[in-house]
Copies of this chain bind each other. A is one copy, B any other.
Amino acid sequence: MSILDAAADVLRCFGPDRLELTVTDVVALRGAPKSSTSRLLRAMRDAGLLETVGDSKRYRPGILLFELGQSYRAGSTLVARAHDVVSGIVDRVGHTGYVSVRDGLDVMGLTYVAGRNVLRVGTPVGRRLPLTASATGRTLLARLEDHEVRALFPGALPQPSPRAPRTLDDLIARLDGVRRTGFAESDGEANPGVGALASAVGDPETGEAVSLCITYPQSTVTVAERRQIIDGLLDGARSIATIMGDVRCAALQTASRPRTPQDA
């Protein structure tokens, strides 16, 4: 194993729940000898990948990584366009929106637009959601072929919530719904009481795909608003798909005018 892999491995030890790590923490998490770990962490600090908190002992990701994280977002015009669309919908309906991408079996929030409403859904930026149990995740899965989806889940489906799809066949059926209607809906799956509507677009050039999502406390959303959100998402996804030449965009399957509200 190269020291680079080891370094990346160390970086992966950090997370929302592990913001700072000591040498022994990393030893416990990775099982590497402590001499190597001690040297590695110091080398990473000297290189600027990590910082020591205060004088010493505890390490955390360096500001260099923060800076690069920013350019990760900026690097994608697809993300920027999606963000603009979501932003417009948020302005109209007042609910919170965000843009996210698939990473492995999770979906990760990239950008966030706070709504005007008093009851707001917290920022999902940098947070992971299970791919199968979120509207946003299913819109991204719906862009894959069924056999690709099956290949992603060789074992049992993760079951983070009772309302999430239980079996692979269950999931595939819902993905089919997403492909027909152009959007996906979550009904308090990832967070109880929180609903979400989402639609995905991709850039065939680079292969990247993002999901546009609006979330809201389920108690506060009206039927008319739901309709408005769906229309906004579909129109937005469609316009981006047209610009980028994304033929796989599910929203394109949907005629621009009439649409039957149908679970997806």
Q: Are B108 and A8 in contact (CB under 8 A)?
A: no
Q: State the CA gap A125–B14 with chains docked (Å).
A: 21
Determine if A65 is an interface residue (Cβ-Cβ < 8 Å): yes
Q: Are A75 and B20 in contact (CB under 8 A)?
A: yes
Determine if A55 is an interface residue (Cβ-Cβ < 8 Å): yes
Nearest residue (CB) in B for A63 is B103
Given contacts A2-B3, A60-B75, whether A126 and B47 have CB atoms under 8 Å apart is no
Q: Are B55 and A126 in contact (CB under 8 A)?
A: no
Q: State the CA gap A31–B65 with chains docked (Å).
A: 23
Write the A194-234 contact mask toward B (1 if CB under 8 angstroms, else 0).
00000000000111000000000000000000000000000
Smallest Cβ distance from A113 to chain B, in angstroms?
9
Give chain A interface residues in 1-21, CB to chain B under 8 Å: 2-5, 7-8, 11-12, 14-16, 19-20
Instruction: Report B-chain residues with C-beta under 8 Å of the C-beta of A74.
Output: 16, 19, 126
Q: State the CA gap A61–B73 with chains docked (Å).
A: 10
Give the number of copies in the complex. Answer: 2
Give chain A interface residues in 30-81, CB to chain B under 8 Å: 43-44, 46-49, 53-55, 60-75
Q: Supply 24 A–B pairs (Cβ within 8 Å), ascending by A.
A: A3-B3, A3-B4, A4-B43, A4-B44, A4-B46, A4-B49, A5-B47, A7-B7, A7-B47, A7-B49, A12-B64, A53-B206, A60-B71, A61-B71, A61-B75, A63-B108, A65-B65, A65-B68, A65-B69, A66-B69, A67-B126, A69-B69, A70-B125, A74-B126
Task: Give me the 9 closest cross-chain CB pairs, A-B, nearest first.
Answer: A69-B69, A70-B126, A19-B75, A8-B47, A66-B72, A66-B69, A61-B68, A54-B206, A65-B68
Interfacial residues, chain A to chain B (CB-CB below 8 A) = 2-5, 7-8, 11-12, 14-16, 19-20, 43-44, 46-49, 53-55, 60-75, 101, 103, 108, 110, 125-126, 205-207
Q: Give 8 A-B pairs besides A63-B101, A69-B126 with Cβ atoms closer than 8 angstroms.
A: A4-B43, A8-B47, A14-B68, A15-B67, A19-B74, A60-B71, A65-B65, A65-B72
